[in-house]
Chain A
């Protein structure tokens, strides 16, 4: 096979889930030694297509050829054997096992009696790390590693199995800008060694920075494949959505009121891995303003929001909702104080996918539909139909199971339920994750409307563009602390990006911590 020739040819792949066509006649080719970006908005089918290539999902029709030979992978084991490796968006690591154990899993070096040759495993993984500049301590426990190092382990897993073709699924979602630059350098090194890399993302800036060729996917189809030179973000964006993208929602100048509807004072909380997730955080949100919390995922935002919503008990500090200050509370009392919390995890927290839409819309506001002990189910159903109309929730009647709605419509169900109560404080967590562009605009508009009506809106997002689209003020969270409190109009994406990456006054200390953490040798 000559250099630059086609290594992978996916031809007219189709994949259906019940009624929904996830991938439609998609054709993709990848050459040796190239970085091929697969872009598209959330829900376009990128991960599905790659899961088919990796053998995690069967395809309904079409064929795949690897170096000219047709292949039919029934599971990841076969794909791995054929030289395909995948670095997943949500890491597939076993936390209480060591780095070496995670890397060798599936291809463990053995001695007699099926014993694992630990010494060899540690030697090999250390050697592998050195060769590709991805050093991690083989003996470290994965649960103790920060996110950037965990991703290194994920990549090393694929390299250990000698993957000639690597699929990286939204790898930068959890990385600081500095870590992202290092990842891109790694990718270029690998490509220079003749490996092919398929890089899934929805962030256009990254695509232009690192790819050789770009394929755009929309609604399950591959619309075009073009070389990187001469392509603009605007052109790609219009391909992705079919029309020019409007990421700025129209909003009037901020005119916040005086009262601090959401106030957080000296909040400290412990995370699930016994780490200090939130360290002495204080801030406030006033009425009629939108405050955005920017930060790479995993810096304590989840734990902070859980504390405010009453789903996690902080170690110390106070939280006030509309003046009602309390140290400990539960979701019920927070809701009663006027809080609307729209969680990022729609599947397991914000909605019950196996329940019907009317049930999802009624939960949490049962007093409106109860008379004594009796439940007025018919009234609840009627109200659900009204809300479906009012919020333009497509593809649903009140009796439809929530699982059959798209991501954007599920998000609308959450909004319909929470924002039509008597609320003064709104917390929206990753509002556009897994949501198509059309729905994103509608959701952003709703949030701005809440602000216009005098609510305090607190948006937590890892998407910098979304933060800038919505916020009047921007807070940046890094390693459990608020490191900046800025007016949105007075700053820009680069500055916030640097802050997200931890480059601020305490730069010295941060750098020292970084280099120690880089190899996992943390004291």
Chain B
């Protein structure tokens, strides 16, 4: 039961990890990107539609990535170039994506609520030779599909890019002191645009995993606010890739638990589905307490976030 739980937690956390990696790059650049759900849902749709049409997983995943990046570019243009408020534009893009995918679900795939088919290829579980035989942790760590392993492998890649490369330094300075970056001759717009596109790329992987790897179907608004939960993880971990991944994994474990609890207790499913959202709220409260304690030391009045 325990290793089963751990296996589920790793699986469930995967889309959160992808979304959080994308979100934290924009966070480090000083952008509050709340459209992660929108990116994910278009990717989920595009991935399953293309995979269905071509019967190729690879093409499906690539279609997912491409569509999410297009949406990310749209948000980037509107908020960075046309100076739209990032919150409003983010909400608009998200609901636009929800409506668009629902529209196309009917228009292109001819379905009302859920789309699924036997023709859609599925990912094969991978058995990792040495790890699978490890006592206790073996069954949890081995046997996942490719996209799951990719997510966790990308965490150190993102950390490396952010903290060791020139590009990462520029991103972080833009996030902290945009004036300093601009006076040093850095192209602020380019940096922000790049992080936004990358968040689209990562959310594209998240969405493709959702509809092709996690389950093999598409349903309206199937992201279930995962983008916001990922955002809470980013806030909690202050944008650090390793800590963010850890928190995302924790959220995944909480959700895995909530799925099993109806079998153990007799609680109604609605109450248990509350768990991820409530846990996210508690994480936000913890972040708030931390921030307020720091501010109270100085005693200066502040209302800005």
State whether these chains interact.
yes
- Closest beta carbon of chain A to B160's beta carbon, Å: 8
The answer to whether B299 touches A313 (Cβ under 8 A) is: yes
A110-B297 contact, Cβ under 8 Å, with A80-B185, A105-B173: no
Q: Judge if B298 is at the interface, Cβ distance under 8 Å.
A: yes
Stretch at the interface among B134-142, B162-170, B247-255, B261-269: B162-170
Q: Judge if B225 is at the interface, Cβ distance under 8 Å.
A: no
Task: Give the CA-CA distance A80 to B185 in the complex, in Å.
Answer: 7
Q: Which of A47-71 contact B (CB under 8 A)?
A: 56
Find the B residue at minimum CB distance from A277.
B298
Stretch at the interface among A175-183, A267-275, A437-445: A267-275
Residues of B within 8 A of A88 (CB): 183
Find the B residue at minimum CB distance from A116.
B166
The answer to whether A272 touches B177 (Cβ under 8 A) is: no
Task: Give the CA-CA distance A315 to B298 in the complex, in Å.
Answer: 9
Q: B180's contact among A92, A108, A113, by CB below 8 Å, is which?
A: A92
Q: B185's contact among A77, A115, A314, by CB below 8 Å, is which?
A: A77
Instruction: Tell me the total A-B contact number using a CB cutoff of 8 A.
Output: 86
A271-B298 contact, Cβ under 8 Å, with A95-B176, A116-B164: yes
The answer to whether A115 touches B176 (Cβ under 8 A) is: no
Q: Judge if B181 is at the interface, Cβ distance under 8 Å.
A: yes
- Closest beta carbon of chain B to A345's beta carbon, Å: 13
Q: Judge if B153 is at the interface, Cβ distance under 8 Å.
A: no
Q: A95's contact among B166, B177, B182, by CB below 8 Å, is which?
A: B177
The answer to whether B166 touches A114 (Cβ under 8 A) is: yes
The answer to whether A105 touches B298 (Cβ under 8 A) is: no
Task: Give the CA-CA distance A343 to B10 in the complex, in Å.
Answer: 55
Q: Judge if A233 is at the interface, Cβ distance under 8 Å.
A: no
Q: Judge if A424 is at the interface, Cβ distance under 8 Å.
A: no
The answer to whether A101 touches B169 (Cβ under 8 A) is: yes
Q: Judge if B54 is at the interface, Cβ distance under 8 Å.
A: no
Task: Give the CA-CA distance A114 to B162 in the complex, in Å.
Answer: 11
Residues of A within 8 A of B182 (CB): 76, 92
Count of B interface residues, CB-CB < 8 Å: 24
Residues of A within 8 A of B172 (CB): 94, 97
Q: Which of B281-305 contact A (CB under 8 A)?
A: 297-301
Q: A92's contact among B166, B167, B177, B299, by CB below 8 Å, is which?
A: B177
Task: Give the CA-CA distance A114 to B170 in the complex, in Å.
Answer: 12
The answer to whether A311 touches B173 (Cβ under 8 A) is: no
The answer to whether B184 touches A96 (Cβ under 8 A) is: no
Q: Judge if B112 is at the interface, Cβ distance under 8 Å.
A: no
Q: A105's contact among B165, B169, B300, by CB below 8 Å, is which?
A: B169
Residues of B within 8 A of A116 (CB): 164-166, 169
A105-B164 contact, Cβ under 8 Å, with A97-B176, A272-B298: no
Residues of B within 8 A of A75 (CB): 185, 187
Task: Give the CA-CA distance A113 to B183 in the complex, in Å.
Answer: 26
Q: Judge if B275 is at the interface, Cβ distance under 8 Å.
A: no
Q: Which of B177, B297, B301 has the most CB of A within 10 A?
A: B177
Residues of A within 8 A of B164 (CB): 115-116
Find the B residue at minimum CB distance from A311.
B301
Find the A residue at minimum CB distance from B182.
A76
Find the B residue at minimum CB distance from A113.
B165
Task: Give the CA-CA distance A56 to B182 in the complex, in Å.
Answer: 9
The answer to whether A92 touches B186 (Cβ under 8 A) is: no
Residues of A within 8 A of B169 (CB): 97, 101, 105, 108, 116
Interface membership of chain A positions 94-127, coded 1 if the CB is closer than 8 angstroms to chain B and 0 otherwise = 1111000110011010100111100000000000
The answer to whether A114 touches B186 (Cβ under 8 A) is: no
The answer to whether B183 touches A274 (Cβ under 8 A) is: no
Task: Give the CA-CA distance A269 to B167 in the complex, in Å.
Answer: 39
The answer to whether B165 touches A114 (Cβ under 8 A) is: yes
Q: Judge if B133 is at the interface, Cβ distance under 8 Å.
A: no
Task: Give the CA-CA distance A108 to B167 in the complex, in Å.
Answer: 10
- Closest beta carbon of chain B to A274's beta carbon, Å: 7
- Closest beta carbon of chain A to B235's beta carbon, Å: 17
Q: A157's contact among B173, B184, B299, by CB below 8 Å, is which?
A: B184
The answer to whether B299 touches A94 (Cβ under 8 A) is: no
Residues of B within 8 A of A281 (CB): none
Q: Which of A77, A80, A92 has the most CB of B within 10 A?
A: A92
The answer to whether A94 touches B185 (Cβ under 8 A) is: no
A314-B299 contact, Cβ under 8 Å, with A114-B165, A116-B165, A116-B166: yes
Residues of B within 8 A of A270 (CB): 297-299
A77-B186 contact, Cβ under 8 Å, with A92-B180, A94-B180, A114-B165: yes
Find the B residue at minimum CB distance from A275.
B298
The answer to whether A92 touches B173 (Cβ under 8 A) is: no
The answer to whether A312 touches B173 (Cβ under 8 A) is: no
The answer to whether B166 touches A102 (Cβ under 8 A) is: no
Task: Give the CA-CA distance A218 to B170 in the complex, in Å.
Answer: 39
Task: Give the CA-CA distance A520 to B167 in the complex, in Å.
Answer: 28
Task: Give the CA-CA distance A115 to B179 in the complex, in Å.
Answer: 24
Q: Judge if A282 is at the interface, Cβ distance under 8 Å.
A: no
The answer to whether B177 touches A93 (Cβ under 8 A) is: yes
The answer to whether A106 touches B185 (Cβ under 8 A) is: yes
Task: Give the CA-CA distance A50 to B141 in the complex, in Å.
Answer: 61
Residues of A within 8 A of B181 (CB): 94, 105
Residues of A within 8 A of B179 (CB): 92
Find the A residue at minimum CB distance from B161.
A114
Q: Which of A81, A102, A105, A306 has the most CB of B within 10 A?
A: A105
A77-B187 contact, Cβ under 8 Å, with A92-B179, A269-B299, A313-B299: yes
Residues of A within 8 A of B183 (CB): 56, 76, 86, 88, 92
The answer to whether A76 touches B180 (Cβ under 8 A) is: no
Task: Give the CA-CA distance A271 to B299 in the complex, in Å.
Answer: 8
Interface membership of chain A positions 306-338, coded 1 if the CB is closer than 8 angstroms to chain B and 0 otherwise = 100001111100000000000000000000000
A92-B180, A92-B182, A115-B166 known; 11 other A-B pairs, CB under 8 Å?
Answer: A80-B184, A80-B185, A92-B183, A95-B177, A97-B176, A105-B169, A114-B167, A116-B165, A272-B300, A306-B300, A313-B300
Could you write out 13 A-B pairs with CB less than 8 Å apart? A76-B184, A88-B183, A94-B176, A97-B169, A102-B180, A105-B170, A106-B185, A108-B166, A157-B184, A269-B299, A270-B298, A311-B300, A312-B300
Q: Give chain B's interface residues, CB within 8 Å of chain A.
A: 164-167, 169-170, 172-173, 176-177, 179-187, 297-301
10 shortest interchain CB distances as A-B pairs: A313-B299, A77-B185, A106-B184, A94-B177, A92-B183, A92-B180, A114-B165, A105-B184, A108-B166, A106-B185
